Structure 1
C-alpha cells in the first residue's frame, strides 16, 4: 500500500521534497543520506499511515518511531531519535495538502480527506491481493 500511496502523494503539488532533501540524513544514527530517488514520498506515505494508525501523534513520537541505534564504535549502542526537521516538514506538507489536521494540543490526526484516501487505497490493495490469493476474498 505504501508505494501506491507514495505515487498518489507524488501527484499532489503540496507534497514536494525541499532542496535540502537530497543531502540530509534521516537521523543521527544514519551514516549517509537515503539513496532512493523518491525517498521523500515514501517517508511521507509512511508518516501519513502512522498518523492514521496511531491517531493523535506528535513530532517527538514520530521521531522516536523513525529512530534507530547509534553506532558508537566499541561502546554499546544507544537508541537515538530520527530527524525531527524532516518529519516536521513532511507533516506540514501533509497538513497543507489537507490530509492531516492539528488536534487541540495533542499532535496531529488524519483529516476526512486523508482518511478517504487511505481507505480507498487499502481497499484497492486488498482487491488486488484477493485476485492473486483467493483466501483473502472473504475480507472484501
Structure 2
C-alpha cells in the first residue's frame, strides 16, 4: 500500500483537530481521527515531548532576554519549570527570577524550594534546585 496516498486521503476526510473532540460515535479523538481511547505509542509520546519542550524553550527565551547568558544547566532549569507549570507559573517565581538574572544562584535555588510547586513535585524540585545552585546537570 502507498502510505503517503493513504495518509493524504485520510487527512482529507478526517480533517485536523489540534484539540480533543468527541467524534460522531462518541470517542475522544484528536489530530486526524486518532482515537485517544486507544492511547498513543511511545514514539508518538516522544515526538510530542520534543514539540512541547521546544515550545517551552522558546517561551522562556522570549520572556527572559538574559536567558542566553546562563549556562546550559540553568537554562534547562527554567525551561523545565516552564514545561511543568507553563510560562505563567514560572513567571510567578519573581524573587527566584530576579536572583537568576543577577547571577545569585544560591538565592535562586533557595527560592525554588520555598514554594507550593516544590511541595507538589518533590524530588524534581530538589534536583532542579541543585542544578540551579551548581550550574551542573
TM-score (norm 2): 0.26
Higher helix share: 2
Computing the radius of gyration over CA atoms, which structure comes out larger, 1 or 2? Answer: 2
TM-score (norm 1): 0.26
Q: Which structure exhibits the higher relative contact order, with contacts defined as CA atoms closer than 8 Å and separated by 6 or more residues?
A: 1
